[in-house]
Structure 1
Amino acid sequence: MSFGSGRFTTDSAAEGLVAYLRTSPSPFHAVASSLSMLVEAGFTPLDERDAWPSEPGRYVTTRGGSLVAWSTERVLTRPFDGSGGGADDGDAGGERGAVAFRVVGAHTDSPNLRIKPRPDHERVGWQLLGVEPYGGLLLNSWLDRDLGLSGRVAVREADGSVGERLFAVDEPLLRVSQLAIHLDRSTNDALTLNKQLHMEPSWALSQAPLFVEWLAEQVRVEPVDVLSWDAMTHDVQPAARTGLHREFVAGARMDNLATSYAATQALIDAVERPAPEGEVPLVPLIALFDHEEIGSMSERGAFSNLLPTIFERIISTLGGGRDDVHRAMARTVIASGDMAHATHPNYADRHEPAHHIAMNGGPVLKINTNLRYATDSVGAAHFAAACREAGVPVQEFVVRSDLPCGSTVGPMTAALTGATTVDFGAPTLSMHSARELVGAADQAMYGAALAAFLAPGRD
């Protein structure tokens, strides 16, 4: 099955997602995976510390576990008058000197167990590592799984500067073993896990090296040169197509790497489409943020200056000033992508009865009257139009009125930019589990819809 004039097929999207998940055990690796895809498609990496080129082109920049990529190829070279304001708006539509952004937002982080700064200790002969749960993870899903380690290490370089190393050990190093039912007969009635006492993974019986020594070996430095780390566990069971007809993809970190992958693919597709004539030039852009699962309040989260700063710098490279930035944001539409709850066959009563969400039923508009999702009627219309252009169905999710509603990067992005914003997702089961489930066909529809959103009217 194919969508978006055949560019997005069920098999290619599903297999591509499986490969992406396998190379992306941490947010830093997800950024590296997307960066590799974008560079192969002709995007030039930019450092935030450098001056940025004024020539139109395809560009990407990273900030830790976050990535932003865009293309100005469809914008005339320096379309503004360079006076700090917009060009003369003498035309009837007031469009001269104007650009707009089309943005797809997602996040690279997922709930997991992260290694503490002083993790080494022993209990009744077992060598354990101290961990702290990150985000709202389903604790029980991390029991009795083979866990690897990955992340980022800050090291002292030979010249005394601070450098960064990524590491990923995709081997079964750690395990959080569950208590046998013989020792707690109530386990099947109500499993209660203490995050401090019950979630520490074991990794040896005999004397183990200090974690810092083991980590130094992975990044090929001396232990004294390991300054700090962002180290985390991941399930080493690889993602895979599942189901009788291979209609599902099961794997870790679907929330929200399924969106990060689809957004990356969609941008690569969108920049290859011809631009329509006679319209305000659009700058397609994706923003993959870190730290969504813990509130986005960081230097690289959605609540940071990352996206507004890049808007301003892009307009500056085109010759515009502050007023042009605000004009562009007023014309901008942002689609905030995060996974959506598919209706669970064993818990159908936990879902809004008039808004069941079908797996492989197409992208999902996420709507909440109290604005836990940023969707309003205008934003919903833009996203629905993209789905229609891509030839994919669209579903609508509303949480039960007597249940609390989660949130996304959408509301804070809308508040920071003032742009029309819509929240959307792809149907998912077992959200925040160590291993989640999505539909294979949904991934193709996801990518096709996002490409149409980033480049409307260009199919």
Structure 2
Amino acid sequence: SRVFQTFKDKVLALAVLGKEPLAAGLRLIASHIDAPRLDLKQRPLYEEVDLAFFKTHYYGGIKKYQWLARPLALHGTVIKSNGEKIDLVIGEKPDDPVFTVSDLLPHLARKVQMEKKLSEAIEGEKLNILLGSLPLGPQEGKDRFRLAVMKILYDRFGMVEEDLISAELEAVPAEPARDVGLDRGIVGAYGQDDRVSAFCSLRAGLEVPPAKKNILLLFFDKEEIGSEGNTSARAQIIESFLERLFFLKKEPFSRKVLVRTLAETRALSADVAGALDPDYQEVHEKRNAPRLGYGLCLTKFTGSGGKYGSSDAHAEYLFWVRSLFNHQEVIWQTGELGKVDEGGGGTIAKFLAALGMDILDCGTPVLSMHSPFELVSKADLYMTYKGYKAFLTAP
């Protein structure tokens, strides 16, 4: 009754097959599992002033200064010259070494950092990860510090420097999730945008029994860079997986049937909402700003300015969702991202809406979004799970 499929090892689809034909439409929840980070460049390894470094290219919308002088871990995939695939993780175990991007001492930072705009004070090309400080070989040798790093990688993983060219390696905060506050009411962790939604929807999808409606959960990649590429919400992943489901259920399939199925589908774009920040209330319109501790947030539209780049949910569908949550005693709120002309942002909702389905953004409010340590209320987290489960089991 449950069908799993991965795409390129970066996207997961989970279906819970119901009694109805697929053409009657599905209950669909889609989230994304990528997060802002520091990706390694293809030729990353170098040495400078007797230290070894990796060059990086940041991924997604970050405040660059937040990534300085903090412990980082390396995660990713390396394909060795012999074709062997390595899933590499360094920095997460208590006895692992960690990595870092060094910062300039304040005594010398006035001209090169402090007198500049915040967006310009830290250059992307200076987000270089410190790897090592011990040399290899005689003092008169060249590249001793870079070679010392490569020897460690070879001895431990069998890697040579050319393997880095085709590798996908990323640096992320090397910190576990923590309770925040004396009352432990908040979870602080990296990547809760949007893994908190992915967790809630996955748990709900694994718990619901097969029933009348067919259920589909999708966990996409590349949302943080505009949903580009063949593992994003813009790719034809939904169509491909639905075709497989029609085959498994032995139901007739055609392009016409696929279009009708998508048009009959009701969906949630499971993405987080920017919570009202107590110290920066001036960028929010407080009557329409989600707050920590007030439940999961229904966001009718996203985008920026005049709703540019937005999926704007229909009144009838928003009514159906709020009525469902009220009936199931799910605590919810509404909100949008900041004042009208303050900024903005988008989700995958508009890409799924283009397939014809009704869709609404619905997720957990977050403080410190896109930082290395994002904050969510445990109460909101529970209501997000409860809301997703209610949605999946709705008639």
Calculate the TM-score normalised by the size of structure 2: 0.86
| Alignment gaps of 5+ in structure 2 | 136-144, 302-306
Amino acid at match of 1:442: D
Q: Partner residue of 2:349?
A: 410
Matches within 5 A, 1:175-186: 175-185=100-110
**Higher mean Cα deviation, 57-66 or 193-202?**
193-202
SS at structure 2 position matched to 1:345: coil
Alpha carbons 2:52, 2:146 under 8 Å: kept? no
CA distance in 2, matches of 1:362, 1:111: 25
Q: Which residue of 1 aligns with 2:16?
A: 71
Distance 1:60 1:389, change over 3 A: farther
Q: CA deviation at 1:248?
A: 0.2
Of 392, 397, 403, which residue of structure 1 is paired with 2:330?
392
Matched, 1:305 2:262: no
Q: Is 1:254 equivalent to 2:187 in the alignment?
A: no
The residue type equivalent to 2:71 in the other structure is D
* Matched residue count: 368
2:86 match:
165
After superposition, the Cα gap between the structure-2 partners of 1:71 and 1:174, relative to the gap in structure 1 and judged at 3 Å, is same
Of residues 35, 39, 44 in structure 2, which corresponds to 1:110?
Answer: 35
CA pair 371-128 structure 1, distance change in 2 beyond 3 A: closer
> 2:142 maps to what in 1?
none
- Deviation string 1:48-103 (CA, Å, 9 cap, x unpaired) is xxxxxxxxx2111111211010111x226xx5xxxxxxxxxxxxxxxxx8432111
Quote the residue 2:282 is aligned against: 349
Partner amino acid, structure 2, of 1:437? L
Contact 2:80 2:159 in 1 (8 A): no
Q: CA deviation at 1:374?
A: 4.2
Residue 294 of structure 2 is aligned with which of 354, 358, 361?
A: 361
**2:64–2:122 CA contact under 8 A, matched in 1:** no
5 Å matches for 1:309-458? 309-318=240-249, 319-322=251-254, 323-368=256-301, 369-370=307-308, 372-398=310-336, 399-415=338-354, 417-457=355-395
RMSD after superposition: 2.3
Please show how residues 12-411 of structure 1 align to structure 2 within 5 Å. 57-63=1-7, 64-72=9-17, 74-75=18-19, 98-157=23-82, 162=83, 164-169=85-90, 170=92, 171-185=96-110, 190-191=117-118, 192-207=120-135, 208=145, 214-215=152-153, 220-223=157-160, 226=163, 228-270=166-208, 272=209, 275=211, 281-318=212-249, 319-322=251-254, 323-368=256-301, 369-370=307-308, 372-398=310-336, 399-411=338-350
Instruction: Report the AA paired with residue 67 of structure 1.
Output: L
Structure-2 change in CA distance of 1:164 and 1:258 (3 Å): same
Pair 1:122–1:411, CA change in 2 (3 A): same
Conservation of the 8 A alpha-carbon contact between 2:64 and 2:124: no
Which runs of no fewer than 5 residues in structure 1 stay unpaired? Answer: 1-56, 80-96, 276-280
Distance, in Å, in 2 between the alignment partners of 1:297 and 1:200 is 26
CA distance in 1, matches of 2:81, 2:4: 27
Instruction: State the one-letter code of the partner of 1:100.
Output: G
1:104-160 Cα distance to aligned partner (Å, 9 max, x none):
110010011011111111222221110000111121111110011001222455xxx
| % same residue | 26
Contact map agreement 1:386 1:450 (CA 8 A) in 2: no
Shift of the 118–404 alpha-carbon distance from structure 1 to 2, 3 Å rule, reads same
Per the normalisation by structure 1, the TM-score is: 0.75
